[in-house]
Each structure stands twice: as structure tokens, then as C-alpha cells.
């Protein structure tokens, strides 16, 4: 029922306005593969910061808590570090803290410019052969800072995922109620891979 309501709302907004904006909310899942190198120290994921001004305060607070928990699990499952600890544990001399900041969580679904003429000219054959109906536009960005127990910056990374993705009736994202999950996870993986690669061994 919730899925039907979600899809009905999306369809109505697209009909009335021609587009709908949304915030990719995950979930941030486990990595596809383990890190190539595991750092011999513990790591703590600090509270995630979301600075995108388009994200409302209530949603910002909810996503910050969810992302913090999900990222801690992803870092642990990815085996980037020997151990992942959480508050109230404290960092040891060689341990590090991971500070994630998401500066842009913008996404928008718009009708594909060829959809209406294509569907009309082909008597809806366009739709059934998976011609693009929507264009899903993503503008995601963030940074990761890795600091030691004293707050000294050891490594950092800034990454972005910007793309326009065509979506047809038979594509997985057409009925996806968690749009942007793959793109958000791609951004997270880019940040982790880059920042940990730059981090010197203890």
C-alpha cells in the first residue's frame, strides 16, 4: 500500500509540475568487496554532517543518525580497519576518527524529452520496448576526513557523483521507492577508497 501511494504521488507530481525533487536517503549498505588493505588500528565513525541547505532540518537529523550507524557497519564489513569502535569507547594513540560530510544530496526525476512524442508517434510501443520515460538526475557530493585522536588531519577526500540516468518501464528504478541508493553508495565507496588509500600505515 505504501509503495502504491508513493508511486501515485510521484506520478501526480510529474503530471502537475513536470518534475519531482527528492533526497537520496539510502540505505548505505555493505560494500561489494573488502578493502585491499586493512589498517592495523581501530576507527570510529563520528556523527555524519549534512550541509546541503535543501535538506530540511528534521530530515537532516534523521539522515545523520541513520547514515552514522550505516557507515559504521559498512566500514566494519569492508575491513578497512582492524576494528570499528563506537562511543563511549575512546580512541587509542594510533586509532583514527572518520568524519563524513555530505554537501549535496540533490536528485530530481523529470520526464524524458522524447517520451511524449515517442509514445504518441509509436502508439505507446515506445513504452513497452523500454524507451526512456524519465531522466533521473543526481548531484551528490561529500568529503571524508580521517583524523587522529588529537584531531590532526591524516587523510581526506572530496568526491562527487553527477549523472543523468534514463529510466524506462522495465528498468529497476522505474518502481524503485529508494531512488538514489546506488548513487549514494557509489559516493560513499569513492570516499572510503580514496581516503584510506592516502592514509599512511600506523
pLDDT tens digits, residue range 28-81? 999 999 999 999 999 999 999 999 999 999 999 999 999 999 999 999 999 999
Closest CA to 181 of 25, 10, 18, 13: 25
Residue 111's pLDDT is what?
Answer: 72
Q: Helices 181-198 and 57-78 meet at what angle, rounded to 10? A: 60
DSSP 174: G
Q: What is the pLDDT of residues 95-129, one digit of tens each?
A: 999 999 999 999 988 774 544 444 444 545 444 44
Closest CA to 21 of 112, 114, 93, 109: 109
Produce one character per residue of 137-147: b if its CB has 16 or more CB atoms within 10 Å, e if not: bbebbbbbbbb
Domains and CATH numbers, the chain: 21-110+133-162+178-198 (3.40.50)
Residue 198's pLDDT is what?
Answer: 96
Q: What is the pLDDT of residues 151-193, one digit of tens each?
A: 999 999 999 999 887 766 545 565 666 788 999 999 999 999 9
Residue 12's pLDDT is what?
Answer: 44
Residue 118's pLDDT is what?
Answer: 43
Write out the three cell numbers for 34. 573488502
| DSSP code per residue over 103-163 | EEEEEEEEE-TTHHHHHHHTTTHHHHTT---EEEEEEEEEEEEEEETT--EEEEEEEEEEE
Q: Give the 3-state secondary structure of residue 14.
A: helix
Q: Give the 3-state secondary structure of residue 167.
A: strand
CA distance 202 to 195: 15
Residue 135: which pLDDT band, with cuts at 50, 70 and 90? confident
CA distance 128 to 156: 46
Amino acid at each position: 500500500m505504501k509503495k502504491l501511494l508513493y508511486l501515485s504521488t510521484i506520478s501526480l507530481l510529474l503530471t502537475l509540475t513536470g518534475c519531482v525533487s527528492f533526497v537520496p536517503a539510502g540505505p548505505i549498505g555493505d560494500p561489494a568487496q573488502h578493502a585491499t588493505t586493512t589498517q592495523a588500528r581501530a576507527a570510529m565513525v563520528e556523527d555524519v554532517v549534512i550541509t546541503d541547505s535543501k535538506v530540511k532540518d528534521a530530515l537532516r537529523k534523521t539522515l545523520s543518525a541513520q547514515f552514522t550507524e550505516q557507515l559504521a557497519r559498512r566500514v566494519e564489513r569492508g575491513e578497512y580497519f582492524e576494528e570499528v569502535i563506537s562511543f563511549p569507547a575512546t580512541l587509542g594513540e594510533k586509532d583514527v576518527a572518520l568524519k563524513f560530510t555530505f554537501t549535496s544530496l540533490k536528485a530530481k526525476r523529470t520526464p524524458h524529452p522524447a517520451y511524449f512524442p515517442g509514445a504518441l508517434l509509436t502508439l505507446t510501443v515506445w513504452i513497452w520496448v523500454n524507451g526512456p520515460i524519465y531522466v533521473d538526475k543526481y548531484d551528490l557530493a561529500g568529503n571524508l576526513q580521517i583524523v587522529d585522536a588529537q584531531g590532526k588531519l591524516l587523510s581526506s577526500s572530496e568526491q562527487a557523483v553527477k549523472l543523468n540516468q534514463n529510466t524506462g518501464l522495465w528498468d529497476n528504478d522505474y518502481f524503485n521507492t529508494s531512488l538514489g541508493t546506488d548513487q549514494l553508495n557509489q559516493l560513499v565507496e569513492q570516499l572510503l577508497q580514496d581516503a584510506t588509500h592516502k592514509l599512511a600505515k600506523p
